[in-house]
Structure 1
Amino acid sequence: MNIVNKLTIRHLKENKRRTLVTIIGVIISVAMVTAVATLGVSFMDLLQRQAIERDGEWHVLYKDVNKAQLKAIEQDEETKAVVLSRERGYALLDGSQNINKPYLFIKEYNAQGFQQFPIELSTGRLPQAAHEVVISEEIISGAKVEYRLGDQIQLAVGQRQLIDGGSQVLQQGQPLVREAGQVKETLINTRAMSYTVVGTIKRPSWEPTWAPGYTIIGYVDEELLSTKDAVDALVVLKKVKGSLFAQAEELARANKIEKVEFNNALLRFYGVVKDDQLRSTLYSFLTTIMAVIVIGSVSLIYNSFAISVSERARHLGMLSSVGATRRQKRNSVFFEGAVIGLISIPIGILCGLGGLSVTFWLINPIFEGALGITQRLTVVVTPLSILAACAISILTIFISTYLPAQRASKISAIDAIRQTTDIKLTGKAVQTSKFIRRLFGIEAEIGLKNLKRNRRRYQATLFSLIISTVLFLAVSFFTASLQKSIELSQDGINFDIQVSSSNVASEREEQLLKAIASLDDVTESSIKREVELTTWLEEEAIAKELREQLGQDSGLVENGKYAYYVNLHALDEASLQRYAREVGVDYQELQDPSRLSCIVIDTINYKDEQAKKYVETKAIHTEIGQSIDLFFTNPETQGETHLHPLAIVALTKQYPMGVMPAGLSGLNIIVSEQVMDRLLEDHKITGVQTQLFLKSTDPMKTQQQIEEMKESQLMIYNVYRSRQQEEQMLLILSVFTYGFISLITAISIANIFNTISTSIALRKREFAMLKSVGMTPKGFNKMLNYESIFYGIKTLLYGLPLSILVMYLIHRSLMNSFSFGFVLPWASMFYVIAAVFVIVTSAMLYSSARVKRENIIDVLKQESI
């Protein structure tokens, strides 16, 4: 070790407080980088395990392959395992007590399938031969059909098809088709099958609750497949990477496989998406996060090294006076950074991982209790994440030390002794406006001159404040935009169970729906009547995107107006009261049948298939107080009947329970039952549907209770699982984003306190001199308060415009896959404005309190701090 490096180490030891503050700053930075890198990997791992538990583990699906094609798939170098799957079809379940599930649905897997799919065995064993099956427990509890282990089942297995409805084959995801209580489908191409029951299983998670068939699972033996047999091959890959889409499609082309599908629900949690625009959006997100981390880390560490170099000016000048070269002085700063990095990086990594472990331990009970997330969030440490944390930390320290090192190399002996690099004493440099002195007094003028005199320290502190402001607003906007993007990509389900009636509304039906709504586990309910109508809008009133798409299409234009379909919803009294309160409308005004008032949902979310992006836009451009004309189209004669116009009393983007987003050329309108009755009373309008929407603490139990009523006119759709998946995603995202905001906030506050306290500590002699010439404690406090105000004003003048620019750039990066308006986060901006002054004032008071205790004579004698 050369003499310059030895002197650098001695300087670090002698200035323990400064060294400790710098080390703590680097530790915080490294911990932040490590935590974010590991947090991302850990969350992805959780989402992967949750998706596998729900839908099974597979990556690529080759549909309807024969034995030769299957051989090629198994021999492919990317294939790790192959699951064989086959849907045998449906068979009538004799004695079923559930009118909505009259069938058995027979699905078959090979042995690998039982490992890759979430099949939970209750009793017995899994099938091992082609004639063996396991049955769902729901057959016994729901259909009330008794099966025992060893029972022989004789079934006529076929396909579902509509009666007089063409040749379309119905799938398991499509509910039983009924009209007026009568089943309108049948089984075709049936053949006799015999099975032996060898076990029972929990209801498979992939079976929709509205599916018409109870699942039984059999065994498909690859050895018994003939050359004419077709099965589905679900492939588990050795390594999930972005090229899998092209490789799978090439394999399909080479072997003449007609259809290939991908498990996008799982692949997206590996960061692998086929959509190029979505991939670019994902990369933009990752780039933004890492840029925020690096900027925050550099601003935190840079100030420590910059102030350290300023403090070491005389020390470096002495080295220069005894022959130290510019290179040696520069390398001394780099060496200081390397020493601090060697100490801080390992500790920072351990602190980041330890902090995550404690955080996960605290939030796992919330995950499990709030939404029933069965997989635990665990800290997943990968070599890549640790290497990334180390690399980013080393890069951050290098960037943080580069400018101070360049400054250090240029310090001459004379300049260091005079301190001319840090202190500017020319009249022009410290000149202040007379207005400041007249308005605020001499204390404010001295405070402002201090800032101008110590320009480098002032700029370092100001830079820290500006960066902290930009970081907080950028991350707040980023997380809000990310959550908005997730909400746009969801399908808008805001209920657990939907109960629909196939009959025209009647008193009996109303009593039945109210009885269902009063079940024990139901926490919220809404009865909604709905009818589809039409309206014609002027060109300037329709959605901008629709205007662009249909500008050349005259088929939808009549007398210069565009056709919109309208979903008119009448909510029950309690639901309408609740909704009116949410959107700020007088409930009594909505009930008045003489005025015919309505609430229009004027904002829609939809996926533009051509642009391949999710869009939020205005469905209609209108104003409160205007009216909207409605028309009913007779389905038989296609004639239009003009109804009463509705007065718009509110425009909103909030959806009541059970109302789903309309399409681009559609509109949702909410009215009271009285208004709908008045609107339809003079016209013979058909097609009015009554639906009940429920939220329940136990949706599966509630569904079973409804089914036990044995009302044939009711159709039940339990969407709890899909809604649960959405809410799980939003909850996990919220934990990630708000945790990130909290981390950035803490880093920003630590950065500001560190910079200001260090700056105040370096001004001890200056403060002692002011006190020695007569400045009172009151005047001293006023001077620091005015300095705080100057810091705050300057920070906001630079920080807010820069933050708006960064937020706009983030918004533009999202527009690759989403489309919604750029809205400034006014609440966050207000918090930042208040926080800047509070934090700066607090840091000033905290630092000055320590300075006040110093003895004036002792401080004036000191050469360095």
Structure 2
Amino acid sequence: MRNVNNKKAIRRLADKSFRAARTRNIIAVTAIALTAMLFTALFTLGIGTVENFQQATMRQSGGDSHGVIKNLSPEQYEKLSRDPSIEETADCMLMAETVTNPEFLKRHAELWYIPEYHYPHCFIEIIEGKAPESADEILMDQVSMELLGLEAKAGQQVTLGLQIKPRDTETVERKFTVSGVIKADPALNVGFGIVSGGYREAHADELTYTYHEDFANTGSVRMDVNFSNSFSIQKKLEKVIANGGYSTDEIEANANWAYISDGADSDPITTGAVLGGLLLIMLTGYLIIYNIFQISVIRDIRYYGLLKTIGATSRQVKKILRRQALFLGLMGIPLGLVLGFLIGTGITPKIVEISSYEYTEMEVSANPWIFLGAAVFTMLTLWISTGNPARIAAKVSPVEAVRYTDGGEPKQKRSRRTADRKGAAGGMAAAGREKKTTDGGKLWRMAFSNLGRNKKRTVLVLCSLSLAVVLLNSVFTVTHAFDMDRYLRKFVSSDFLIANAVYYQSLYTGSSEETVQEEKLTESFIKVCEGLDGFQKGGRLYFSVTAAALKGDRWTPPETVPKDDNGIVGRYVQGKFYPLNRRGNNYLASLCGMEDFFYDKLEIWKGESDLQVIREKLASGKYLLCSVFTDDNAAVEEDTVMHQPGDKIVLVCGDGQEREFEVLSLIKENYYGMTNRRKSEFLYYVPADVFQEMASDQYLMSYSFDVEDGRGDEIARRLESYTKTEEPMMHYESKGTWEDQFHQLSGLFTLVGGVMTLVVGLIGILNFSNSVLTGIVTRQQEFAMLEAIGMTKKQIRKMVVLEGLYYAGGTIVFSLVFGCAFSATILRMLTNGMWFMQYQFVIWPMLAVFPVLLLLGYAVPEMAIRLGKKESVVERLRRPE
């Protein structure tokens, strides 16, 4: 046979056969569009979330520069800035340790010098006026001006109180003219004043570099650095320091943690989740696209055989199918990209809302990588899905094509068992035997046999439908695993917690009786809370980081605590060793005085556990409790435990007096309810009166209280009004706040999982409908033959409906078996690995959807056969193959 090498003819054949298969094309385009939609939604969700998290992280870190080299002298800056690997750098400088205006206690302000060319990198956006030029001009953000009682307009006068260096005891007052107003950053609860280079020169005498003496940031240069790209930023920074003749022990440098390229490979969970999502979508798309083209090839197998008869090669037959797939992709992918982007942009804000960057301005950009990635993965799925059907069409011979029936297979792929038969006579004898049976013609048996004619197609339909059911059940299983009690246990130990606004910024220290006056909680606010309707009971918490220090020569570090080569005790943070903070020969400690209310909130890990005994012994003033670190699952990090029950320790009070205690019990840390929200290796708890003996009653950090059930929302509204109008420097936190965040988190997962389940379910229904419809269309001659030998139309309809019900029944069985096994293994492992989840076996979503499957299995075949062409038996028998 002569092969025909005519590309134009092949293209014409492909295009004409493409236009002839309209039903196939509609279903295929829909399937491809849905697949592209899933990919686009996933890419939009991933890239959009990363972009917004990265943008918010940049704002919180101070800018979008690749890295920063900290606390340099001007001379060091000049030397390092000449490194050839640096593309751009800026010498930013803090102008004062603290802006002391009382209006900034709740939202503190900072005074900086930043070169004007560097404003865009620090997200400084002037909304009115201009940059400062003279020494008495300043840029201020709009919210800071409002707190000062001024309109957010340029030209106004402001007076700022400045504590220049940390050890300064006097405050300097300076008047400025507002040259311009900058936009307040929603990602930061911090105000900014930006001065000019003229101010820096005019006050150079107070901005001398003293960091090596007193660790004062004022007067030291913060060197913002940008390289040509964001890869290996930390290594580049270290190389810049080394090139300047310094070591990383002398100078500290950090990569901007907003750049995920510097540590993307360190998060296998995120990477695994993304890969899992991509594979799931590819599998879903494959199940339907493959089935569509396989059915199409089987239906048109005689057509491909005739093409090979007139000279078409196997490669050309493949090209015909590939060309048709390309046309379908070009039609379906753009629609899927648009729909997927709309869905992704709708879900992404929900993720950002529940993040720690809640007040970030949300924006999902039409990143080209979203559409490029989704299009590439959809085309890849389409290419893989059409591979095997194209091979079937290409390998079939003309003779086999004429004899091919649904459920048959090419001769080359058949078992060689026929070649082993002994002679033609044996074959004829075997063919002449009659099968004797009494129930072979029953409809239910015929319907079941029909499913086995093409086992691969049947399996694909069952997998496609079952995938949607299992995914639905998995979504509800994970959602039901969300445990509010576990979630709240991490953040909440009482219904309400009130404190000074600085406490919620982790700025409370209790370092001295002078500074604590601006940090402490007022008794007037406590009295208001105790007078509220619904108030039950509460307690005060006193806290100081200077009231006591652990006497160094009376404490022996445990063997589990990390030490450096010199035997100095410390801890590792992100792989870097940091010595424990010391004051002379003693270790800095945090001392907490608690009232009776907190005893019921303690979670004892080791030591005395009877609360009444603990009360009595602590009241003697000879015992204390020691807090130990825990991980997200509330498991104690034993290598950080500094004491054991029964240890005798000596605390050195602020006035130099020493006091010996015995460690009565070790308690798990209550970070959000019973600390100043800073980590401390040595955190001790004593009764409030013992604390006041060692320090004073001025270190009142917070007050926690419980209320009657059902009164939380009302009391929250009262506190909100009071802190806005009466004591704006005070603030509160409620259990309801964390409950809302929990519901947002679980609702988000339900939303994302629900959308995914809906689309996968739709694809499964399309796959099932396509199989049933194509089967009915391609079996018209078969149905005509059955009618010719006496089968009624009603019996044929009943047989087809039974086939649909068998599909539904098979899906139910497969879903139950695989869904339960998947839930009991993979989902159990997944949920047990999350600290706020507790696995629960859930099956009711599958049971709820099974009646829908049965209805679908009945309705689709019933409608398809009723809507078929009304032709006589003779017409269908005489129709050419």
Q: Same fold (TM over 0.5)?
A: yes
1:848 lines up with 2:861 in the alignment: yes
Would the alpha carbon gap of residues 788 and 446 (structure 1) be closer, same or farther in structure 2, given more than 3 Å must change? Answer: farther
Is the contact made by 1:79 and 1:235 (CA closer than 8 Å) also made in structure 2? no
- Aligned counterparts, 1:553-568, within 5 A: none
Q: State the Cα deviation string for residues 49-104 of structure 1 (Å, max 9, x = none).
A: 444555444331122334455446655566565443222335785xx667969998
Residue 397 of structure 1 deviates from its aligned partner by 1.2
Correspondence 1:620-659 to 2 at 5 A: 637-640=659-662
Partner of 1:46: 52
Across the aligned residues of Structure 1 and Structure 2, the Cα RMSD in angstroms comes to 6.5
Pairing 1:750–2:801 present: no
Deviation at 1:402, TM superposition (A): 0.7
Identify if the C-alpha distance between structure 1 residues 479 and 790 changes in structure 2 by more than 3 Å, giving closer, same or farther.
closer
Deviation of 1:118 after TM superposition, in Å, equals: 5.1
Aligned to 1:243: 232
Deviations 1:649-681 (A, max 9, x none): xxx999997789999999999xxxxxx99x999
Distance 1:472 1:117, change over 3 A: same
Q: Check 1:39–1:328 CA distance in 2 against 1; reply closer, same or farther (3 A cut).
A: same
Bigger Cα displacement from structure 2, 764-773 vs 81-90: 764-773
Please tell me the residue identity of whatever aligns with 2:334: P
Instruction: Give CA deviations for 1:124-150 in whole Å, capped at 9, x if unaligned.
Output: 754323343456788887688999967
Report the secondary structure of 1:616's partner residue: coil
For 1:760, give the aligned amino acid: V
Counterpart in the other structure of 2:251: 259
Decide whether aligned partners of structure 1 residues 531 and 134 sit closer, same or farther in structure 2, where only a CA change above 3 A counts: closer
User: Could you tell me which residue of structure 1 aligns to residue 363 of structure 2?
Assistant: 377
Q: Which runs of 5+ in 2 are unaligned?
A: 1-6, 210-218, 418-437, 514-520, 544-557, 570-589, 604-610, 616-626, 639-644, 652-657, 706-714
The 3-state SS of whatever aligns with 1:187 is: coil
Letter in 2 for 1:293: I
Q: Residue 86 of structure 1: which of 93, 106, 129 is its match?
A: 93
Once residues 150 and 824 of structure 2 are traced to their aligned partners in structure 1, the CA distance between those partners, rounded to angstroms, is: 65
Question: 1:26, 1:301 within 8 Å by CA — same for their partners in 2?
Answer: yes
- Cα–Cα, structure 1 residues 56 and 491, in superposed 2: closer, same or farther, change >3 Å? farther
Match of 1:112 in 2: 117
Q: Paired residue for 2:403?
A: 418
Q: CA deviation at 1:30?
A: 2.0
1:785 deviates by 3.0
**Superposed CA offset, 1:360-387 (max 9, x none):** 7x969996999974624344232x3333
Q: 1:691 maps to what in 2?
A: 702
2:428 equivalent in structure 1: none
Tell me the SS of whatever aligns to 2:366: coil
Query: Corresponding residue for 1:60?
Result: 67
Give the distance between the partners of 1:102 and 1:746, measured in 2 at CA. Answer: 45
Tell me how far apart the structure 2 counterparts of residues 836 and 391 of structure 1 sit (CA, whole Å). 34
User: 1:348 and 1:448 mapped to 2: Cα distance?
Assistant: 37
Q: Which residue of 2 aligns with 1:456?
A: 456
Which structure would you say has the larger Rg? 2
8 A Cα contact 1:61 1:262, kept in partner:
yes
Contact 1:8 1:332 (8 Å CA) reproduced:
yes
In structure 1, what is the equivalent of residue 792 of structure 2? 772
CA gap of 1:289–1:260, structure 2 versus 1, over 3 A, is farther
Name structure 1 gaps, 5 residues minimum. 162-185, 429-436, 533-546, 556-564, 584-591, 597-602, 608-614, 622-628, 647-651, 670-675, 710-715, 813-818
Is 2:478–2:839's contact at 8 Å kept on the other side of the alignment? no
| One of 6, 13, 17 as aligned partner of 1:11 | 17
What do the CA deviations read for 1:774-833 (whole angstroms, capped 9, x no partner)? 738777656643442123213443465467776689899xxxxxx658989656x62663
Alignment of 1:691-730 (within 5 A): 691-692=702-703, 703=723, 705=725, 707=727
Tell me: CA distance 1:260–1:327, structure 2 relative to 1, closer, same or farther (3 Å): same
In structure 1, the partner of 2:319 is: 331
| CA apart distance, 1:253 | 2.0
**Residue 22 of structure 1, CA deviation:** 0.8
Aligned to 1:172: none
1:478–1:663 Cα change, 3 Å? farther
1:853 CA displacement:
1.0
State which of 285, 288, 297 in structure 1 corresponds to 2:273. 285
Give the distance between the partners of 2:227 and 2:717, measured in 1 at CA.
40
Which structure carries more strand by proportion?
1
CA deviation string 1:146-168 (max 9, x = no partner)? 9996769697754234xxxxxxx
1:332 Cα shift?
Answer: 2.8
The alignment status of 1:32 with 2:52, answered yes or no, reads no
Match of 1:197 in 2: 177
1:403 aligns with 2:409: no
Pairwise CA distance, 1:401? 0.7
Identity of aligned residues (%): 16
Residue-by-residue CA offset, 1:432-461 (whole Å, 9 max, x unaligned): xxxxx99xx966544433322331321221
Cα displacement (A) at 1:4: 4.7
1:291 Cα shift?
Answer: 2.2
Deviation, 1:702, is 5.5
User: In the alignment, residue 47 of structure 1 is paired with which amino acid?
Assistant: F
Structure 1 residue 25, shift from structure 2 partner: 0.9
1:506-548 Cα shifts (integer Å, max 9, x gaps): xx9877414157899xx9999445699xxxxxxxxxxxxxx99
Contact 2:93-2:113 within 8 A present in 1 as well: yes
Q: Secondary structure at the match of 2:95?
A: strand
Q: CA deviation at 1:390?
A: 2.7
Task: Give the Cα separation in 2 of the matches to 1:59 and 1:519.
Answer: 51
Could you tell me which amino acid in structure 2 is paired with residue 841 of structure 1? L
Q: 1:703 to 1:512 in 2, by over 3 A?
A: closer
Cα distance in 2, alignment partners of residues 103 and 810 from structure 1: 42
CA distance, structure 1, for counterparts of residue 696 and residue 449 of structure 2:
79
With over 3 angstroms needed to count, the CA separation of the structure-2 counterparts of 1:110 and 1:831, relative to structure 1, is: farther
Q: Flag the 1:403–1:223 CA change in 2: closer, same or farther, 3 A.
A: same
Aligned: 1:22 with 2:28: yes
The equivalent residue for 1:387 is 372
With the length of structure 2 as denominator, give the TM-score of the two structures: 0.63
1:342-381 residue pairs with structure 2 within 5 A? 342-353=330-341, 359=346, 373=359, 375-381=361-367
Equivalent residue number for residue 871 of structure 2: 858
Say if 1:632 and 1:642, in contact at 8 Å, map to a contact too: no
C-alpha distance 730-408 of structure 1, shift in aligned 2 (>3 A): farther
Partners of 1:335 and 1:411 in 2: how far apart? 19
Distance across 2 between alignment mates of 1:295 and 1:312: 25
Q: Which residue of 2 aligns with 1:165?
A: none
Aligned AA (1:616) = N
CA distances 1:211-270 after superposition (whole Å, capped 9, x unpaired): 9xx865432359959998664344363665222222222112212464344464533xxx
- Give the AA of the match of 1:255: G
* Cα distance in 1, alignment partners of residues 178 and 752 from structure 2: 51
Q: CA deviation at 1:302?
A: 1.5
